[in-house]
């Protein structure tokens, strides 16, 4: 039996020896390969092992905070890997995410232990329902009480959500048509993140038939659509208004510069506008979500995890942001439901595969979070955050509910191997390499970013072997294209860039 481990490595052995040899080879080689090859995740990652890892880290966290439900993890210290003790308070914008992760863990495992813990951490946030110091009531209360209510249907949680929505609505200015995000900078700053907090308002409006909350949320969404989003689908972080609703200036406190594209802000736009479309049914919001998504996907590096800003010029501060990837993955899964565009589904799967690999999950380490490599703001990267963990678990739960599959099947390559085309970027001609360990019905096709099939290069029964398939892009316009290889129930995809 001949087994292709990589295009340059083959082993020859009997079937049982092979299985053992492959296993050992994969364990030792996978990390080196994933570093060299970016998205080649040769080691498969099952839902079960991703959940075991997440459970481990949540239990480690509970130990670390002494099961004290007044402590709500925010981000880890980049040196010690422990949750930063100065950011455990209820008043942090992040305080709802740990409770939210406990709810998702309950949904994913059905283990009552997680439900009880989730209730305890949720109910500790009660005092925050009347906090008017910022716009983050939605993050704090919807991630905790909102998830809790969907599971327990508890009347007291419903009342809490109503009161919290009322609190948030107090920051709305009808002249400006927006909710004021912060009190500590600018005149009336509205940040792109604020879209996320509208879910609390829309949800309460829908469930209590409250037109006032609905129109506040919709008005904010429209203002943000008009002023945060650029023509090319990218977003500004902060828009500061004067009291008549005129724009003073657009800037950032977390990204690389006023005209750059802060990756987590872009992810908030993807998730936020998709969610707003869910409540309003208005296509302009769906269009905004799609434009933001296409921009995000087009600017992703090989492993589908963005740098914290798409335009950071200095490599010393160009750190990754796993949290932006997790938020976007969860958003893509909802967007796929509305559009049926597989670009979003596949991008979510690629992200989840990468996040579950040792490059981003805290396997074999003392770090307390589930994921590492998030960036809080320019110059403060390489940390774990409770929100990266929360949206990662949410995305896994959404994926499972959407597809009925255990976990992104695309990452399990079963010795189906799809290499990066060479050259890439390319001008008209390039070659796509792949190998099949088993013969089978095989299709290799090229798609544009809207999911439209451009060309089918291979289609039919193919014997096991290694293939070099030329692709001629004459007549196509410059841009990013995706090629997908499907064989024996497995689908792998990669991006390539055509420069005419």
Active site (catalytic) residues: 136, 193
Task: Please state the closest distance from residue 328 (CB atom) to ligand GLY, in A.
Answer: 13
**3-state percent breakdown (helix, strand, coil) of the chain, nearest 5:** 45, 20, 35
- For ligand GLY, which is the closer residue by CB, 252 or 339? 252
- For ligand GLY, which is the closer residue by CB, 171 or 264? 264
Task: Please state the closest distance from residue 63 (CB atom) to ligand GLY, in A.
Answer: 27
Instruction: Spell out, one character per residue from 434 to 463, where the chain touches ligand GLY: x when CB under 6 A holds, - when not.
Output: ------------------------------
Cα→Cα distances 44→40, 127, 436, 481, Å: 10, 44, 17, 25
Task: Please state the closest distance from residue 309 (CB atom) to ligand GLY, in A.
Answer: 12
Please say whether the dihedral angle defined by the alpha carbons of residues 22, 23, 29 and 33, taken in this order, is positive or negative.
positive
Look-up of token digits 């994933």: 34
Look-up of token digits 């970016």: 38
Interactions with ligand GLY, residue window 268-327 (CB under 6 A): none
Task: Please state the closest distance from residue 391 (CB atom) to ligand GLY, in A.
Answer: 11
Task: Please state the closest distance from residue 477 (CB atom) to ligand GLY, in A.
Answer: 35
Classify 329 as helix, strand or coil: helix
How many residues lie near ligand GLY (CB under 6 A)? 4
Q: In what order do the strands lie in the sheet with 453-462?
A: 453-462, 440-447, 479-487, 490-498
Instruction: Spell out, one character per residue from 44 to 83, where the chain touches ligand GLY: x when CB under 6 A holds, - when not.
Output: ----------------------------------------
Task: Please state the closest distance from residue 182 (CB atom) to ligand GLY, in A.
Answer: 10
- Based on the number of CB atoms within 10 Å of its own CB, is 29 exposed (0-12), middle (13-18) or buried (19 or more)? middle
- For ligand GLY, which is the closer residue by CB, 152 or 164? 164
Instruction: Spell out, one character per residue from 361 to 400, where the chain touches ligand GLY: x when CB under 6 A holds, - when not.
Output: ----------------------------------------
CA distance 201 to 195: 10
Instruction: Spell out, one character per residue from 185 to 204, where the chain touches ligand GLY: x when CB under 6 A holds, - when not.
Output: --------x-----------
DSSP assignment of 210-269 equals -HHHHHHHHHHHHHHHHHHB-TTS-B-SEEEE-TTS-EEEEE-SSSSSTTS-BHHHHHHH
DSSP classification of residue 184: S
Q: In what order do the strands lie in the sheet with 417-418?
A: 417-418, 429-436, 465-472
Interactions with ligand GLY, residue window 217-256 (CB under 6 A): 254
Two structure tokens written together for 385: 């955050």
- For ligand GLY, which is the closer residue by CB, 41 or 237? 237
Task: Please state the closest distance from residue 262 (CB atom) to ligand GLY, in A.
Answer: 9
Question: What are the strands, taking DSSP E only, across 328-419?
Answer: 417-418
Which residue in the set 71, 75, 171, 264 belongs to the binding site for ligand GLY (CB under 6 A)? 264
- For ligand GLY, which is the closer residue by CB, 236 or 471? 236
Instruction: Spell out, one character per residue from 83 to 112, where the chain touches ligand GLY: x when CB under 6 A holds, - when not.
Output: ----------x-------------------
Task: Give yes or no for a contact between 369 and 385, defined as CB atoms under 8 angstroms apart.
Answer: yes
- For ligand GLY, which is the closer residue by CB, 266 or 411? 266
Task: Please state the closest distance from residue 93 (CB atom) to ligand GLY, in A.
Answer: 6
Query: How open is the CA angle 21-24-29, to the nearest 5 degrees?
Result: 115
- For ligand GLY, which is the closer residue by CB, 235 or 339? 235
Q: Using only C-alpha atoms, what is the Rg of the chain?
A: 23
DSSP assignment of 289-327 equals HHHHHHHHHHT--TTS--BSBTT---GGG--B-HHHHHH
- For ligand GLY, which is the closer residue by CB, 193 or 350? 193
Give the residues lining the site for ligand GLY (CB under 6 A). Answer: 93, 193, 254, 264
């Amino acid at each position: 039996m001949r087994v292709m481990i990589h295009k340059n490595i083959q082993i020859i052995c009997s079937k049982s020896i092979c299985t053992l040899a492959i296993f050992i080879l994969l364990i030792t080689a996978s990390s080196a390969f994933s570093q060299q090859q970016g998205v080649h995740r040769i080691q498969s990652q099952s839902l079960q092992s991703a959940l075991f890892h997440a459970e481990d880290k949540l239990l480690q966290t509970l130990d670390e905070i002494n099961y004290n439900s007044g402590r709500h993890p925010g981000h880890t210290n980049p040196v010690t890997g422990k949750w930063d003790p100065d950011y455990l308070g209820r008043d942090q914008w992040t305080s709802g995410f740990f409770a939210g992760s406990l709810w998702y863990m309950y949904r994913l495992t059905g283990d009552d232990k997680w439900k009880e813990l989730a209730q305890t951490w949720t109910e500790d946030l009660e005092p925050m329902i009347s906090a008017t110091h910022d716009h983050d009531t939605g993050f704090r209360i919807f991630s905790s009480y909102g998830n809790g209510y969907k599971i327990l249907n508890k009347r007291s949680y419903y009342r809490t959500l109503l009161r919290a929505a009322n609190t948030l609505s107090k920051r709305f200015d009808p002249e400006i048509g927006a909710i004021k995000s912060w009190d500590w900078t600018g005149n009336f700053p509205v940040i792109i993140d604020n879209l996320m907090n509208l879910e609390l308002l829309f949800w309460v409006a829908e469930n209590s038939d409250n037109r006032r909350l609905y129109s506040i949320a919709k008005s904010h969404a429209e203002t943000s659509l008009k002023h945060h989003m650029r023509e090319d689908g990218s977003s500004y972080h902060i828009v500061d208004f004067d009291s008549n609703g005129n724009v003073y200036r657009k800037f950032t406190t977390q990204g690389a510069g006023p005209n750059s594209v802060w990756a987590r802000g872009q992810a908030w736009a993807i998730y936020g506008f998709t969610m707003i479309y869910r409540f309003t049914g208005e296509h302009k919001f769906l269009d905004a979500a799609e434009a933001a998504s296409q921009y995000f996907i087009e600017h992703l590096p090989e492993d589908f995890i963005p740098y914290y800003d798409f335009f950071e010029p200095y490599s010393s501060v160009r750190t990754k942001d796993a949290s932006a990837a997790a938020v976007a993955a969860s958003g893509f899964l909802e967007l796929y439901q509305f559009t049926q565009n597989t670009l979003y589904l596949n991008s979510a799967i690629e992200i989840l595969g990468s996040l579950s690999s040792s490059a981003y999950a805290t396997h074999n380490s003392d770090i307390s979070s589930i994921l590492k490599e998030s960036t809080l703001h320019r110059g403060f990267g390489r940390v774990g955050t409770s929100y990266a963990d929360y949206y990662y678990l949410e995305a896994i739960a959404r994926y499972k509910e959407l597809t009925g599959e255990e976990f992104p099947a695309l990452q399990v390559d079963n010795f189906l191997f799809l290499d990066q085309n060479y050259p890439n970027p390319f001008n008209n001609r390039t070659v796509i390499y792949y190998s099949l360990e088993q013969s089978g019905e095989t299709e290799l096709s090229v798609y544009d970013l809207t999911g439209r099939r451009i060309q089918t290069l291979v289609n039919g029964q193919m014997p096991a072997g290694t293939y070099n398939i030329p692709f001629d892009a004459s007549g196509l316009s410059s841009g990013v294209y995706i090629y997908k290889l499907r064989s024996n129930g497995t689908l792998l995809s990669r991006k390539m860039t055509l420069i005419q």
